[in-house]
């Protein structure tokens, strides 16, 4: 998956070490993982390999790995929880995280046949909540005292996007152009109305008559 600023790619062995740095307690981004713990590279690897959450690395077009996005299947197939981290605070507010999230939503809706994508964002996280507001995401409710940061609890907002809502304002890029799919469909119908109808279908009828005798 490739956008204007970043692309998403499968995890590589070196990424586990980067993950352990990106989610350290010294960074606010650690909350994207749901907890603030000192985690070793091996612990991160086991967490990812054995867990139900899938990950992709966020990479700039010059090859720099700057964070990750994640998706977890919820109770029903087709429903996902989305998360993510841009590890370097100097890269925040540059559109990388927003584009990575949109690329992941394109993947889930357009290639995985997702029905619903859900988010849980702490109300201390100005950037993520602004992302929800900017993209007119439906707010489902407030989770009280859901995150703990800076010595106090913070509420979280739970929100979601349904499939028809997403296609209402987004046009994901097709793997195969629509014009190519339409062209081969027309060629097939032309073939069915011509040669197949005149030559193949009569042969099938004759074969059926022989079998029925």
4, two tokens: 């204007």
Are the beta carbons of 6 and 99 closer than 8 angstroms? yes
Q: What is the mean pLDDT of each run of 10 residues along the chain (213 residues)?
A: 91 89 61 57 86 92 93 91 88 89 94 94 88 89 92 94 91 87 94 91 83 64
The pLDDT value given to residue 21: 83
Task: Indicate the pairing of strand 138-149 with strand 152-162.
Answer: antiparallel
Residues 6+ apart with CB under 8 A from 114: 78, 79, 80, 108, 163
Question: How far is the C-alpha of 158 from the C-alpha of 144, rounded, in Å?
Answer: 11
Q: pTM for the complete prediction? A: 0.81
Question: How far is the C-alpha of 157 from the C-alpha of 146, rounded, in Å?
Answer: 9
The CA-based dihedral angle spanning residues 178, 180, 186, 188, taken in that order and rounded to the nearest 10 degrees: -120
Residues 6+ apart with CB under 8 A from 69: 8, 55, 56, 58, 82, 83, 84, 100, 101, 103, 104
Please write the tens of the pLDDT for every residue from 139-188: 999 999 998 888 899 999 999 999 999 998 888 888 888 899 999 999 99
């Amino acid at each position: 998956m490739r956008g204007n600023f970043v692309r998403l790619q499968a995890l590589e062995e070196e990424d586990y070490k980067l993950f352990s740095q990106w989610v350290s307690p010294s960074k606010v981004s650690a909350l994207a993982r749901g907890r603030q713990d000192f985690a070793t590279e091996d612990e991160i690897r086991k967490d990812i390999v054995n867990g139900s959450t899938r990950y992709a690395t966020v990479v700039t077009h010059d090859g720099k790995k700057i964070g990750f996005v994640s998706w977890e299947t919820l109770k029903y197939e087709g429903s996902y929880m989305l998360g993510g981290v841009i590890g370097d605070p100097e890269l925040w507010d540059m559109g990388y995280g927003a584009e990575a999230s949109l690329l992941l939503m394109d993947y889930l809706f357009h290639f995985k046949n997702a029905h619903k994508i859900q988010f849980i964002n702490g109300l201390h996280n100005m950037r993520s909540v602004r992302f929800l507001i900017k993209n007119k995401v439906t707010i489902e409710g407030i989770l009280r005292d859901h995150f703990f940061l800076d010595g106090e609890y913070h509420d979280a907002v739970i929100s979601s996007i349904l499939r028809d809502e997403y296609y209402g304002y987004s046009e994901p890029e097709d793997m195969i152009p629509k014009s190519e799919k339409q062209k081969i469909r027309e060629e097939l119908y032309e073939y069915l109305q011509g040669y197949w109808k005149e030559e193949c279908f009569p042969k099938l009828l004759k074969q059926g008559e022989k079998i029925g005798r």
